[in-house]
Structure 1
Amino acid sequence: LYYFYIMSDRNFTKSKLPSYGTLSSKGVIVNPRERNGQQQLSITSQNLPFEERAAQHEGYVSLPGFSDDEDDEEERDYHTLLNEYIITTPFILLALISFIILLHSFSEDGTIHYEWDIFLLGVTGWCAVFFVRKPIFFTFSKLISLKVSLSSILTLLFIGFIEEIVRMGWLHRFEDDDEAFLTAYWLGLGWAAAEAVYFIIQNFIELSWYKDDETGGGVRYAEEREELEEILGRPLTKVSAWWGVMWRFSWIMIHIGFSCWIAFNHILVFPAALIHGLLLVIWGYCLPVFGIPATSYGTLLVTLSVFLIGLALFGQIV
């Protein structure tokens, strides 16, 4: 998760900063103290098992037909999950490599034209958007004085818009009319690569919060774990690391797809921004409601559609 802490004046001098929101590797902001107008769980309820805390929080109630109880993962210990992360990390990198190899099928002579400068440009684009997320949230929550939950939703929607505007700016400045498709493809690939690297690093950071369970000291990162479970709707130890491979595959496709959309016609930045923002809101507020399987497969279908439409716009598929 991308954690950022917004301090109120009365808490400014406290040694422990109050958390007003979290932002995941997909751009997801979560507010442990206020979600859907509810206050933060009491100290007593925080000490209960996750399932009992979930029963007290209406945000965890799955909609009819979307409950993932039957697909609930078996809880893993720290070392088992660590091994899963180590095994799945190369598959995330292979997903990126597979999209480079895919360029063979789009080349008339069967060769790959590497555009590493555009790839690095995509990396800088993702980093630029990443660093403006905290100021955006601060603007909505403090300067405009909106509730934290509303500020988070508006921030997610606005981030989707800003990300596509930055993407359009990069394409407008560096796009080559003779190689518009390649420029868009490599820009999206670099964008996705930066996000994937951060996702891998953050996976191991989040997993370290559960390491103390092995020695009976699991309260050390209680607040961080609480926020993470708010996002997932279950403890991290009940989420297979293989879901992360699907998530990365999906977001590689959406970054390449949206880059192709905008490179084809800049007016398409508006539907791209809307879809992107809505996906961020769904992952930020609906994951515990719909469940990980339904949300993941639904996202995969949307991102695959975005990717195929992007290829079709440039005549790469018919």
Structure 2
Amino acid sequence: MDETPPVPLPPAVPVHLILSPLAVALAVAALGPAPHLTALAVGAAGWLAAMVLRAPVALAGRAAGLAPERLGLVLLLASGPVEEACRLAALWLWGGDLRTALWLGLGWALGEALALFVGGLVSGRVLRSPGDQGDKARAHLAAQGKAAAAHPAWGGLERLSVTGLHVGLSLWIAWNPWLAVPAALAHTAVNAAAATVMKRTGRMALTEAAVAVPSAAVLAVGLVLALALS
């Protein structure tokens, strides 16, 4: 009788997913502009709104009979435009000064990390459950190969890179709303690079580099633009 080979299970409590953006937010609170809790909450809500707005794209793709791989590509291409449109709207409604943009970007990163944390809690519980549901979940995890066996530290590094990306893009749009267009392209490019590198190489180090390097560049440009907002 064939058995699903054992794979390392992710942490039952994936705290590593929220430590990076939380640490950055605490560092900014201590060393940078005073905390802007409204902007923080608006950022988290903006990320959630972008997730909700992607749902019609997924539904339309399924209704059109797109294969899962093609649907995934459509959702990836839509991710940047939808998210940056929401970020533009949030900054337009709540102000585009340096402090607001900075804390809105941090809230965006924290909102995404919190959603991943909750999802990790749920999936971790399912993976550890007995019976058919747990067996199917573990088999699906095994099918993911190296990505499934990745050390949690890689997830923490990714969250750190993504935090820089969200802060940088918020600063871009705060400096000039028209930069929402290149921001959308940059955001989609980072997502596409990570997905492509992981699919072709299966190596977490290269995949995280594909996120970290452009995210750092986006943040660096954002910080230069922030000088004009300060």
How would you bin the TM-score normalised by the shorter chain? Answer: 0.7 to 0.9
Q: Is 1:130 the equivalent of 2:51?
A: yes
Aligned residue runs from structure 1 range 24-173, under 5 A = 48-49=4-5, 76=8, 81-82=11-12, 85=14, 88=16, 91-92=19-20, 93-103=22-32, 112-142=33-63, 144-173=64-93
What SS does the aligned partner of 1:209 have? helix
* Partner Cα separation in structure 2 for residue 133 and residue 257 of structure 1: 22
Give me the CA root mean square deviation. 2.8
C-alpha distance after superposition, 1:76-132 (max 9, x if no partner): 467xx448x45x4673332432243341xxxxxxxx322211111111101111122
- Equivalent residue, structure 1, for 2:98: 181
The question of whether the paired residues in 1 share the 8 Å contact of 2:193 and 2:211 is answered with no
1:223 Cα deviation after fit: 4.0
- Equivalent residue, structure 1, for 2:157: 246
Max Rg structure: 1
> How many pairs align?
226
Q: Please, what TM-score do these two structures have when normalized by structure 1? A: 0.62
1:140 Cα deviation after fit: 2.4
Pick the structure with more helix per residue. Answer: 2
* Partner Cα separation in structure 1 for residue 138 and residue 28 of structure 2: 34
The question of whether the paired residues in 2 share the 8 Å contact of 1:233 and 1:288 is answered with no
1:187 Cα deviation after fit: 0.9
C-alpha distance after superposition, 1:138-187 (max 9, x if no partner): 11231x443332222111111211100110111122215xxx11111111
User: In structure 2, do the counterparts of structure 1 residues 102 and 292 end up closer, same or farther at CA, with 3 Å as the change threshold?
Assistant: farther
User: What are the ranges of 5 or more consecutive residues in structure 1 without an aligned counterpart?
Assistant: 1-43, 51-74, 104-111
Q: Please, what TM-score do these two structures have when normalized by structure 2? A: 0.84
User: In structure 2, do the counterparts of structure 1 residues 228 and 305 end up closer, same or farther at CA, with 3 Å as the change threshold?
Assistant: farther
User: In structure 2, do the counterparts of structure 1 residues 113 and 172 end up closer, same or farther at CA, with 3 Å as the change threshold?
Assistant: same
- Equivalent residue, structure 1, for 2:175: 264
User: In structure 2, do the counterparts of structure 1 residues 161 and 313 end up closer, same or farther at CA, with 3 Å as the change threshold?
Assistant: same
Report % sequence identity: 24
The question of whether the paired residues in 2 share the 8 Å contact of 1:167 and 1:259 is answered with yes
User: In structure 2, do the counterparts of structure 1 residues 281 and 141 end up closer, same or farther at CA, with 3 Å as the change threshold?
Assistant: farther
User: In structure 2, do the counterparts of structure 1 residues 207 and 283 end up closer, same or farther at CA, with 3 Å as the change threshold?
Assistant: farther
Aligned residue runs from structure 1 range 191-206, under 5 A = 191-206=108-123
User: In structure 2, do the counterparts of structure 1 residues 157 and 226 end up closer, same or farther at CA, with 3 Å as the change threshold?
Assistant: farther
* Partner Cα separation in structure 1 for residue 35 and residue 213 of structure 2: 28
- Equivalent residue, structure 1, for 2:212: 300
What SS does the aligned partner of 1:113 have? coil
The question of whether the paired residues in 2 share the 8 Å contact of 1:189 and 1:256 is answered with yes
User: In structure 2, do the counterparts of structure 1 residues 167 and 293 end up closer, same or farther at CA, with 3 Å as the change threshold?
Assistant: same
Q: Is 1:309 the equivalent of 2:229?
A: no
User: What are the ranges of 5 or more consecutive residues in structure 2 without an aligned counterpart?
Assistant: none
